[in-house]
């Protein structure tokens, strides 16, 4: 469950032209995440407060020549510019773009491709740009298309000629793939932290309801008695696999595209291993075409998010049902409920209904990206500009779902009396009675089935049948049969590993209390 968050604060080391690069401390500092992380997660998705240039005055000025505009004799039309810009959403990548540019500039200087003085000017300018973005002073310009061109053009305006050297041995193709991998890596850490918070909330809810037995369901029909703790821990187990999938995804995406350039690499003497190490990647990607053209790392990420969303949707469905008058198993507090605009008596578990509903949105983000990628020839295509918004939305939505589910779990009460009154219905102890007989199971299954039919006829429970009634169905029944009947006795008979028996669930609970470092006091 441990993860590494890469900080966005940098310290620039002084490199001589002869020095060998060994450290990545100026770019990424491993830290242990402090939970919860609502501010970190939230801030990545709020619109940046920096302004966008759309003024009438700006419209009357001659258009700025594009950084790629050397072979063109005409400017793009306003409609094309508006349609092709991505700065309205990819500015979320600014920290990661600056991080990559710092690594690239330092490598260029180390390899003698730019001077140390140029490198220092670039790094200082990038620091100032990052400061101005975070202060809300930076002006994002749609005519500069995307986050990369906005930052590079602003850097050129600020430091002049040295900034024009920054794009040496780099294309926007490898640049955006690098930025996006860095962003996904951080986003995985935010989600894993939110998963852990929900796991803690569920385990604490289980600790508060020790010994409470509820009906277990299959086909939405009553099946066997289970401990509530056992059911809540089932959700915890699912969430743990969700976190594992994300961390597996993180390990696979943590390879650097930087230096792959447009698609074929470069003939300049760059050091891709240096930039990879500086950015905390495992290694550079081996194939430059693959590095710039594939988005399988995002597909895998959004697939993992979709599974999380499905798990959360199932929790939402369970709790929405349990909050209904028909079940009445839980009562959400007013702080996590909403009312009706016309029916004054209503108290609705809306947060969990929306968790259930928003799962469709997360799955839709995955389907969007799968459809986007399915027909693309190698290598890079502009279609891939459309990969950001589904990913941003998926992460924002999943974190919101996790956070509100944890909030809901901390603000519900299980109605013990209502649950206990509901337990006798459904012959939940029938399977335990079949185990009691100790004869070939198909034979015992038939005997207990006829016992249930007798109960239906007499309008009673299995434990209400007389021994004489039971022996009329099988001579195997004896006085000790009543030790197996009733939901409490049935639960006490479960003993297999992972089962709902008291001792088994206590072991499971102890495991999670220890793993999640929960203070029970």
Distance between CA atoms of residues 165 and 117, nearest Å: 12
**Contact predicate 273/284, CB 8 Å:** yes
State the first-to-last Cα distance of the chain, in angstroms, to the nearest integer. 23
Residue count (the chain): 521
Distance between CA atoms of residues 443 and 441, nearest Å: 5
Of 219, 341, 514, 521, which one is the catalytic site residue?
219
Answer positive or negative: Cα dihedral of 136, 140, 146, 152: negative
Phi then psi for residue 111, to 5 deg, are -90, 5
Among all chains, which residue has been given the structure tokens 């926007």? 172
Distance between CA atoms of residues 63 and 341, nearest Å: 52
DSSP for 145-204? -SHHHHHHHHHHHHH-HHHHTTTTT--HHHHHHHHHHHHHHHHHHHHHHHHHHHHHHHHH
DSSP for 1-12? ----EEPS---P
User: b/e for 10-40, b at 16 or more Cβ within 10 A?
Assistant: bebeebeeeeebeebebbbbeeebeeebeeb
> Is residue 22 annotated as a catalytic residue, yes or no?
no
The two beta strands, 213-218 and 221-227, are antiparallel
SS3 51: strand
Of 17, 324, 340, 466, which one is the catalytic site residue?
340
> Is residue 340 annotated as a catalytic residue, yes or no?
yes
Q: Which residues are catalytic?
A: 219, 340
């Amino acid at each position: 469950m441990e993860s590494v968050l890469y900080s966005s604060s940098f310290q620039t080391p002084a490199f001589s032209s002869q020095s060998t690069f060994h450290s990545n401390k100026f770019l990424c500092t491993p830290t242990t995440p402090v939970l919860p992380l609502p501010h970190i997660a939230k801030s990545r998705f709020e619109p940046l407060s920096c302004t966008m240039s759309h003024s009438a005055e700006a419209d009357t000025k001659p258009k700025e020549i594009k950084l790629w505009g050397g072979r063109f004799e005409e400017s793009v039309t306003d409609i094309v510019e508006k349609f092709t810009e991505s700065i309205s959403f990819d500015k979320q990548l600014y920290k990661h773009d600056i991080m990559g540019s710092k690594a690239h500039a330092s490598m260029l200087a180390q390899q003698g491709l730019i001077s140390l003085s140029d490198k220092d000017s670039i790094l200082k300018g990038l620091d100032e740009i990052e400061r101005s973005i975070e202060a809300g002073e930076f002006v994002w310009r749609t005519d500069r298309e995307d986050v990369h061109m906005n930052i590079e053009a602003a850097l050129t305006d600020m430091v002049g000629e040295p900034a024009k050297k920054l794009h040496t041995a780099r294309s926007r193709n490898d640049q955006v793939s690098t930025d996006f991998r860095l962003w996904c890596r951080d986003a995985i850490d935010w989600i894993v932290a939110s998963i852990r918070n929900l796991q803690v909330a569920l385990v604490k809810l289980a600790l508060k309801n020790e010994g409470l037995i509820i009906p277990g369901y299959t086909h939405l029909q009553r099946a066997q008695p289970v401990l509530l703790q056992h059911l809540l821990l089932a959700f915890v187990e699912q969430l743990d696999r969700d976190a594992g999938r994300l961390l597996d995804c993180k390990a696979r995406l943590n390879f650097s595209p930087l230096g792959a350039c447009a698609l074929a690499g470069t003939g300049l003497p760059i050091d891709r291993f240096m930039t990879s190490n500086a950015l905390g990647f495992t290694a550079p990607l081996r194939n430059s075409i693959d590095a710039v053209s594939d988005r399988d790392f995002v597909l895998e990420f959004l697939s993992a998010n979709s599974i999380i969303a499905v798990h959360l949707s199932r929790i939402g469905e369970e709790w929405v049902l349990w909050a209904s008058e028909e079940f009445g198993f839980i009562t959400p507090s007013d702080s996590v409920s909403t009312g009706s605009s016309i029916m004054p008596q209503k108290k609705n578990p809306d947060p969990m209904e929306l968790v259930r509903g928003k799962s469709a949105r997360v799955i839709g983000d995955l389907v969007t990206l799968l459809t986007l990628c399915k027909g693309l020839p190698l290598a890079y295509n502009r279609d891939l500009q459309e990969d950001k918004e589904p990913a941003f939305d998926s992460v924002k939505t999943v974190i919101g779902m996790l956070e509100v589910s944890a909030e809901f779990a901390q603000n519900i009460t299980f109605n013990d009396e209502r649950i206990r009154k509901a337990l006798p219905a459904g012959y939940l102890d029938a399977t335990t009675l079949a185990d009691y007989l100790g004869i070939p199971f198909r034979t015992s299954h038939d005997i207990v089935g006829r016992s249930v039919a007798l109960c239906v006829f007499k309008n009673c429970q299995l434990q209400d049948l007389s021994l004489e009634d039971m022996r009329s169905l099988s001579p195997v029944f004896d006085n000790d049969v009543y030790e197996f009947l009733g939901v409490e006795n049935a639960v006490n008979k479960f003993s297999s590993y992972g089962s709902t028996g008291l001792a088994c669930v206590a072991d499971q609970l102890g495991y999670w209390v220890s793993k999640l470092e929960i203070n029970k006091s």
